[in-house]
């Protein structure tokens, strides 16, 4: 699953998003590219739960298909 997080701007954002995603069931691996504002998640996590976790951390997430 690949998401764009346009309002992610610094390492603090990366840490907050990583912490939020670690609480989502089914997230096995998280890769974040700050320069591309991209989050790649491996596992069988529910898309709605992933987007919701990022939103609850204070960021906007857009799923890329």
* 42 φ, ψ (degrees, to nearest 5): -110, 145
pLDDT-derived band of residue 4, with 50, 70 and 90 as boundaries?
A: very high
Distance CA 3, CA 32 (A): 10
Number of domains in the chain: 1
- The boundaries of the domain holding residue 54 are 2-64
pLDDT tens string 12-26: 999 999 999 999 999
What pTM was computed for the model? 0.93
CATH of the domain at 19: 3.30.70.100
**Half-sphere exposure (Cβ direction) of 42: Cα atoms closer than 13 Å:** 5
pLDDT tens string 33-52: 999 999 999 999 999 999 99
Instruction: Please say whether the beta carbons of 3 and 27 come within 8 A.
Output: no
Whether residue 65 is predicted with pLDDT greater than 80 in this model: the reply is no
Q: What is the pLDDT of residue 37?
A: 98
């Amino acid at each position: 699953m690949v998401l764009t997080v346009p309002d992610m701007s610094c390492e603090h954002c990366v840490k907050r998003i990583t912490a939020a995603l670690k609480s989502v069931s089914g997230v096995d691996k998280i890769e974040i590219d700050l320069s591309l504002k991209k989050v790649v998640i491996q596992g069988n996590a529910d898309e709605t739960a992933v987007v919701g976790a990022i939103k609850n951390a204070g960021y906007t997430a857009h799923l890329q298909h």
